[in-house]
Amino acid sequence: MSFVRIRQGHALDAVAVSGLVQQVYQPFSADFPPTALKWTSAAVRALPASWLLAHDENKLVGVVRQGPDPEGHTLDSLAVATEWRRRGIGTALVAAVEELAVAACARQMIIALRDVLAANTAFFTALDYRMARPLPPHHHIFTKEIGTSL
């Protein structure tokens, strides 16, 4: 993995975070309306602390939105710059979210994955997320138990 620094987002990061999310998710618009595209700079600015950002030096290379959920802790809108993919950035961001969730005493991670995005399903399945139930019309909920001893 490349060395990156992960930190919590701030309001001043909103334009960069939104830009990266839009860059990563816009290409899917031809096939379906990605829910991540709702994260405009104004929307990110309204909830800056819900974002974790991965930086290499001063360059933003990845982001993820996270927070508590009635069933545990959720994450969504994971986005890694194209030229930084397959270097462990997404895995590091998910691990950072899981650490925050454990610190907040959550026992389960939750993510909704779109059915047609097999690569996303494979990524999260490799991180021990398991399909829990359908979320019609186009998603499934995946969960992962956290904060428990083996």
For the cut 60, the answer to whether the pLDDT of residue 87 exceeds it is yes
Number of compact structural domains in the chain: 1
Confidence of residue 2 (pLDDT cuts 50, 70, 90): low
Q: What percent of the chain has pLDDT over 70?
A: 97
Residue 139 inside a domain? The answer is no
* CATH number assigned to the domain comprising residue 72: 3.40.630.30
- The whole domain housing 60 covers 5-106
CA distance 71 to 12: 31
> Both ends of the chain: CA-CA distance in Å?
27
Confidence of residue 149 (pLDDT cuts 50, 70, 90): low
Kindly report the pTM of this predicted structure.
0.94
CA distance 114 to 129: 14
Residue 60 inside a domain? The answer is yes
pLDDT attached to residue 5: 96
Residue 27 inside a domain? The answer is yes
pLDDT attached to residue 3: 79
